Structure 1
Amino acid sequence: MRLIFVYNANSGKGNAYLDGLHKIISPSTYACSLCELTYGVFLEKKEWKLFRKQEHVEMDFYHRDQFLKKFKSKWLPKYTFPIILSEKEGELEVFLSSEKLNTMETVEVLIETVKKGLASH
């Protein structure tokens, strides 16, 4: 099994810069809770980076535009972003929905939720 993390943001340095500014100027209107949980203004949070390195599951990370391009299919469900999907034997399944991610307030809560989800798979 692998986890696929999809941020509700587009790729590219310009977009990353604008996203960082958005987090500073108007954090309450920033549209990617997964970005907020795993990154500070510009750098990955230490707790998240450590978790990623220590966890024994494959993790892939995509920005919205990258995911839609790579997994383009007329049969692909219409996902809302951000989202975490699990992939097993070529099948994608929602691991953590955008609704659930949007309720999380800290990276520690995200880490614990991912750990519990992995334990139940």
Structure 2
Amino acid sequence: MHKDEFKQRYWSKWLPKYDFPIILSTSDDLQKDYHAQGNSTGMDIFMTAGEMDALETTEEMIVAIKEKLKS
């Protein structure tokens, strides 16, 4: 989803300020400790802009995503 579409669909004064680009993961469960990595809506930061900037190739992105999915 593009940044403008995300902001239009999910805007809320309680939504954390995200640095884009970002990959978010979702959960049906409410988060108990949402101050560090997510919010009470079940959206968590999966990969930050900084993490993505450190990757030089699409293959590195695929490997990084697969590694994060394992944990």
Which runs of 5 or more structure 1 residues have no equivalent in the other structure?
1-61
Query: Which of 41, 47, 50 does residue 96 from structure 1 map onto?
Result: 47
Give CA deviations for 1:63-91 in whole Å, capped at 9, x if unaligned.
11000001111111000000001101150
- Give the helix-richer structure, 1 or 2: 1
Q: Say if 2:2 is the partner of 1:71.
A: no
Match of 1:39 in 2: none
Query: Which of 58, 65, 69 does residue 114 from structure 1 map onto?
Result: 65
Q: Say if 2:31 is the partner of 1:80.
A: no
- Give the strand-richer structure, 1 or 2: 1
Larger Rg over CA atoms? 1
Q: CA RMSD in A?
A: 0.8
- State the structure with bigger RCO (CA 8 A, min sep 6), 1 or 2: 1
Number of equivalences: 59
Which runs of 5 or more structure 2 residues have no equivalent in the other structure?
29-40
Match of 1:56 in 2: none
Q: 1: CA distance between counterparts of 2:64 and 2:27? A: 19
Calculate the TM-score normalised by the size of structure 2. 0.79
Calculate the TM-score normalised by the size of structure 1. 0.47
1:1-121 equivalences under 5 Å are 62-89=1-28, 90-120=41-71
| TM-fit CA distance, 1:119 | 1.1
